[in-house]
Structure 1
Amino acid sequence: MDNIFYTASEILFKDANVLIHIRDWFFSQAGNILLAIITFWVGRYAIKWAKTFAVRIMTKASYDSAAMSFITQIINYALLVGLILICLNELGVPTTSFIAAFGAFGLGIGLALQNNLSNLASGLLILIFKPFRAGHVIQVGDTIGSVKSIQFMYTIITTKDQRNVYIPNSILTSQTVTNIAYATERVIPFMFDIGYNNDHHEAIKILKKIFANDKRVLNPKNIEIGIAEFGDNSVRIAAYAHVKSKDFLDVQYSIMSDVKDAFDKYGIDIPYPQRVVYIQNVDNSTGEIKGTKKKATGTNVAIDDSPES
């Protein structure tokens, strides 16, 4: 410990002019130091006021909480860096070199983090143009869920099975995003299969009656319904029911259940894929193969029951 104090004293007092220079600099810059302290203190309050003002403006513009938090953080850090540079300039420190250093540093970071900066810029675009907000139900590709939050790099979507999916913001600005929340009404596209031996006129009449009985269907009298195509195993009937967005899933589940009950009641078949398979029996004494053709349903696998030799 004594050696440390001795070394420090030797460095500080080796040249008495050092202390004199420090003292002279302090007294000569005392006004600038005081001004820098006052500037920093006032600047901090100015930054808080600017953040509060920005929040007030965004609240009037109906920005959601995620957007306001995102933007106020950027405002805070940007103004704080500017305030520090102003204070350094008040102390006589040349800020040009700092700005150049920050520029070079920012360029290096930007080249190393191109994807992240793209996500950051995309996040800003999402918050500015507001194609969706926290709480909205959106679809991105095969992912459908409620927007939980919009962060710097990612947007978190909570799916129906309560999985949090983190989607990079750059994907949300470069791909098609379907916002379901903005629509007050939606169309449920139904597709019903009936057998070729059934009367499709009767089936359509039953379907229209089911849609008419559900008060949540908005277009029962002029619902679009008819044969969509002739499938390999069935006649496919399409129907498009208009409902309130909040009733979408409830109506879909209810109608499908009612259709199954009605088809069972009136003997209308709901076909499923059928395949013909061959079961081969081998006579061990003669080696003769005796084939019997049988019809099987719900499979496309050929069955071979020949005994092993």
Structure 2
Amino acid sequence: MNTSTATATAAVAQDVKEQVAQGVTMLDRITNLLIDRGPDILFAIVIFIIGRYIAKLLKNIAVRMMTHANYDHTVITFVSQIIYYAVMALVVLSAVNKLGVPTTSFIAVFGAFGLAVGLALQNNLSNFASGLLILIFKPFKAGDWVNIGGVEGSIKAIQVLNTAIITKDNKTVFIPNSLITSSQVTNSSYLDERFIPFLFDISYNNDHHKAISVLKDIFAKDPRILNNDTMEIGIKEFADNSVRIAAYPKVRRQDVIPTTYDIMSAVKDAFDANGIEIPYPQRVVYVQKAEQKDN
């Protein structure tokens, strides 16, 4: 073997020896790291697995709640994803922190970013939070007939930032959720049975006992009225031009409008047939003639 070949062989052997030494050193470092940080790594993995399970659980709970409240599918997907990723962000930060990686800087950056976004989207975030409150407390659901801030109609959909209402004349009104949570909401569909507040005016010249008897007979003939035996009916007040008789029949929720129309028509026919006058508004005007002066 010549000198150059021996030199090359020695160089190769030296490289192999160095690589083996580096490999052993790296293996020793990994072994020491696993021994020193093994429990923390194990806890970090456990935190991630349990945290992911909790995130999925909260997401599924939110989906079930919003589905039960008849939220739009797009809203359900959007809100559930926000909940899932928000929880997962906390889980990842907790796991990384357990590994010994400082997370203070990350939290500060996220906090500053969140503050900037919050200030920029303050009104939208308020509407979003109000939408969640509507979901939790459920003052109404899709299909309910409501009156919100003077807008009356049927709830079409509860969306992320607003609620859509279909009015009687088939218009769609979008009301911001923050206005709903700060306004009076009248839900006519909340209960299965409702009272219809009737108010009938008759002339002072008519017999109010007869008028009440006629009204009771009309109510008794309508099978949709549920409280004929206990219904409140009587004189409510003496107005300027009429005696006002109030009646409060109870009907099922879906019978309110047709019963109202039918009763009003029947009362007009019965009053006309029995000579009971529905008075017009009256006003007495005195005209004073000015005295003529002598020339």
Give the structure-1-normalised TM-score. 0.65
The whole-number CA distance in structure 1 between the counterparts of 2:149 and 2:249 is: 24
Q: CA deviation at 1:264?
A: 1.0
Cα distance, 1:151 vs. partner?
1.6
Q: TM-score, normalised by structure 2?
A: 0.68
1: distance between equivalents of 2:66 and 2:119?
A: 37
| Residue 78 in structure 1 maps to residue 81 in structure 2 | no
Is residue 2:117 matched to residue 1:109?
yes
- The yes-or-no answer on 1:272 pairing with 2:241 is no
Structure 1 or 2: more strand by fraction: 1
Deviations 1:64-120 (CA, angstroms, capped at 9, x unpaired): 24363453242355368679989x99xxx9875454233212212323433322221
* Residue identity matched to 2:262: S
Partner residue of 2:163?
155
Query: How many residue pairs align between the two structures?
Result: 241
- Across the aligned residues of Structure 1 and Structure 2, the Cα RMSD in angstroms comes to 3.8
Give the gaps of 5 or more residues in structure 2: 1-48
Is 1:54 aligned to residue 60 of structure 2? yes
In the alignment, does 2:139 pair up with 1:144?
Answer: no
The 2-side partners of 1:56 and 1:204 are apart by 54
State how 1:32-43 maps to structure 2 within 5 Å: none
Say whether 1:241 aligns with 2:256: no
Out of 120-129 and 57-66, give the one that drifted further. Answer: 57-66
Write the distance in 2 (CA, Å) between the matches of 1:97 and 1:137: 51
Change (3 A) 1:288 1:158: same
2:193 maps to 1:185: yes
Instruction: Tell me, yes or no, if the aligned pair for 1:137 and 1:180 is still in contact at 8 Å.
Output: yes
| Percent of aligned pairs with the same amino acid | 56
Q: Aligned equivalents of 2:144 and 2:252: distance in 1?
A: 16
1:144 is displaced (CA, Å) by 2.0
**CA pair 265-69 structure 1, distance change in 2 beyond 3 A:** farther
- 1:199 paired with 2:217, answer no
Q: Which residue of 1 aligns with 2:261?
A: 253
**1-structure distance, mates of 2:133, 2:58:** 22
What are the Cα deviations for residues 104-137 of structure 1, in whole angstroms up to 9, with x where unaligned? Answer: 1221232343332222111111112222222222
1:64 alignment partner in structure 2 = 70
Which residue in 2 is equivalent to 1:297?
Answer: none
**Aligned AA (2:68):** S
Q: Cα–Cα, structure 1 residues 257 and 70, in superposed 2: closer, same or farther, change >3 Å?
A: farther
For 1:34-60, what per-residue CA distance to the aligned partner results, in whole angstroms no more than 9, with x for missing partners?
Answer: xxxxxxxxx9xx79x939961796169
Distance 1:207 1:222 in 2: 14
Q: Determine if contact 1:187/1:242 at 8 Å carries over to the other structure.
A: yes
Distance (whole Å) between structure 2 residues aligned to residue 77 and residue 56 of structure 1: 13
- On the 8 A contact 1:51/1:72 being kept in 2, the answer is no
User: Equivalents in 2 of 1:130, 1:149: separation in Å?
Assistant: 13
1:128 aligns with 2:130: no
Contact 1:156 1:167 in 2 (8 A): yes
What per-residue deviation string (whole Å, max 9, x for no partner) do you get for residues 225-249 of structure 1? 0000000100000000000000001
Structure 1 residue aligned with 2:232? 224
| Whole-angstrom distance in 1 between the partners of 2:132 and 2:102 | 33
